[in-house]
Amino acid sequence: MSNAVTINVYEIVGSELCVAASDGQKVYDQIQTALQMKKMVLLTFRNVTGLTSAFLNAAIGQLYSTFDEVTIRAGLRVRDMNPEDRALLKRVVDTAKEYFKDPDRFKKANREILGDEHGKKGSSD
Amino acid sequence: MKVALPRIEHDRSGFCHLTDFYAALRACDSELIEVDMSSCGWFDADMCSPLGAILYKLSRKLNEVRLTNIRPDVKKILCRNGFLLNYGEERLPDSYGTTIRYKRFDSKDDKDFTNYVERRLLGRAEIPRMSQGLARKFRESVFEIFSNAVIHSQTQYGIFCCGQYFPKRHRIVLCISDLGIGIKTNIRKTLDLDLPDDKAIEWATTDRNTTKRGTIPGGLGLKLLKEFIAMNKGSIQIVSEKGYWGFLEGHVRQAVFNHRFPGTVVTIDINTADTSSYKLSSEISEEDIF
């Protein structure tokens, strides 16, 4: 059994435009399964011409909830991305790392940004 | 029930009029609603998006909506973009090629939405040839608004889109509305933060703030949009519940209306003559991402 697998984003989404988080979830499911099987994932974006942060958050950002950075760095490679999409993915990845390091950090930062007057608790229905 | 609709422009007062309009009608249930448009001397076509959302919501409560006394010039605009097809009128040809059709999408219709953007917005001969970088950023921004609306609003009623191209001003305006949970309510429910309605929108456009919880991170969509609009020297206006937040000519404008919009509206105004280079100053290697 080969230890490397190529996952084709275009084939999973069925479109050159990757917009919806639900499509990102399909990509995530494939990567997650492969990484759990200790496979090296080559994720190709060939023929993909448009991406959203919502798609990338679901497809790749979410991996940081399941795997540590070392595992992801060792097991996942992206290919065929244009420079702008790589820059967007980098922002998504950096945000995800920070988010999963301390999810409550966002909440604390929010309270700091807004100050005490708006940081008070509201109804939690 | 009879309610008058005044002049509606895509600015703070236009949105305020629509929130007042909804407040007058929101309690209607199984009624005949007559929207008297005799005093509506102008209607910015893209504002069909929030008006259509309001009327759609009223219709779901078995109200019958009739638009009456529409002035001829306004009627032409609303027939050209297909808005009045929902109220029994026929479509007029888009003789100037400046119309961006009114259309409602279900939340799962992202493929239809991308087709709409490609065919009705970017793929048309009348739309000026934007630089490759600008067209790409514009398309991505529109997709970010759509996916943001789907994820955060959890709307059951869909997403309402409409726009207009202004060739002399080199502008495209696109408006996207939803009828879901507003930004203020979402922040309150998710983070237990009770913010004024306009501050809640400001919060959502601030870097790294997110209401996302669970395994999928978030917090980039509206920030990417704001960055692009600043570079493009365009504008963005967001209305959510009672809050109004605008980023106009580099300045932020905020307000709290007396009445609420039943969801969120995002309007972007793009400068099509923008010659900025959207190329990155430095490239990130595929090996340096994770």
Asked whether residue B258 is domain-assigned, the answer is yes
Q: What is the mean pLDDT of each run of 10 residues along chain B (290 residues)?
A: 96 98 97 97 97 96 96 96 93 88 92 89 75 84 89 86 91 94 91 91 82 74 86 94 94 96 95 80 84
Judged by CB atoms closer than 8 Å, whether chains meet at A55 and B147 is answered as yes
Does residue A108 have a pLDDT over 60? Answer: no
Look at residues B50, B162, B54, B55 and name the one whose alpha carbon lies nearest to residue B102: B162
Cα(B6)–Cα(B172) distance, rounded to whole angstroms?
24
Asked whether residue B288 is domain-assigned, the answer is no
Which residues span the domain enclosing B166?
2-91+98-276
Q: Average pLDDT over chain A, rounded to whole? A: 85
Cα(B285)–Cα(B287) distance, rounded to whole angstroms?
5
For residues A8 and A46, the answer to whether their CB atoms sit within 8 Å is yes
pLDDT score of A122:
36
Which residues of chain B make contact with A107, given a CB cutoff of 8 A?
A: 191, 193
pLDDT score of A124:
31
pLDDT score of B10:
95
Q: What angle do CA A105, A60, A51 make, to 5 degrees?
A: 110
What per-residue string of b and e applies to B117-140 under the rule 16 or more CB within 10 Å gives b?
Answer: beebbeeeeebeebeebbbbbbbb
Q: What is the CATH number of the domain that holds B129?
A: 3.30.565.10
pLDDT digits over B130-179, tens only? 787 888 888 888 998 998 888 877 888 999 999 999 888 889 999 999 99
* Three-state SS sequence of chain B: CEEECCCECCCHHHHHHHHHHHHHHCCCCCCEEEEECCCCCCECHHHHHHHHHHHHHHHHCCCEEEEECCCHHHHHHHHHCCHHHHHCCCCCCCCCCCEEEEEEECCCCHHHHHHHHHHHHHCCCCCCCCCHHHHHHHHHHHHHHHHHHHHHHCCCCCEEEEEEEECCCCEEEEEEEECCCCHHHHHHHHHCECCCHHHHHHHHCCCCCCCCCCCCCCCCHHHHHHHHHHHHCCEEEEEEEEEEEEEECCEEEEEEEEEEEEEEEEEEEEECCCCCCCCCCCCCCHHHCC
B119 vs A2, residue with greater confidence:
B119
Range picked from A49-53, A107-111, B42-46 for highest mean pLDDT: B42-46
Does residue A118 have a pLDDT over 70? Answer: no
Which residues of chain B make contact with A85, given a CB cutoff of 8 A?
A: none
Asked whether residue B290 is domain-assigned, the answer is no
Asked whether residue B176 is domain-assigned, the answer is yes
pLDDT digits over B174-216, tens only? 999 999 999 999 899 888 889 999 999 998 888 767 777 777 7
Report the pLDDT averaged over residues A59-67: 95
Asked whether residue B35 is domain-assigned, the answer is yes
Which residues of chain B make contact with A120, given a CB cutoff of 8 A?
A: 194
For residues A75 and A43, the answer to whether their CB atoms sit within 8 Å is no
Asked whether residue B282 is domain-assigned, the answer is no
B279 vs A101, residue with greater confidence:
A101
- Predicted complex: ipTM over 0.90: no
pLDDT digits over A6-32, tens only? 999 999 999 999 999 999 999 999 999
Q: What angle do CA B43, B46, B52 make, to 5 degrees?
A: 85
Asked whether residue B284 is domain-assigned, the answer is no
Look at residues B202, B190, B286, B282 and name the one whose alpha carbon lies nearest to residue B244: B202
Asked whether residue B39 is domain-assigned, the answer is yes
pLDDT score of A104:
61
Kindly report which listed range (A89-98, A111-120, B53-62) carries the lowest average pLDDT score.
A111-120
Looking from the CA of B107 toward its CB, the CA atoms found within 13 Å total 15
pLDDT score of B287:
85
Look at residues B152, B139, B125, B270 and name the one whose alpha carbon lies nearest to residue B220: B152
* CB within 8 Å of chain B, chain A residues 86-115: 86-93, 95-96, 98-100, 103, 106-107, 109-111, 113-114
Q: Domain count for chain B, please give it.
A: 1
Phi, psi of B79 (to 5 degrees): -85, -35
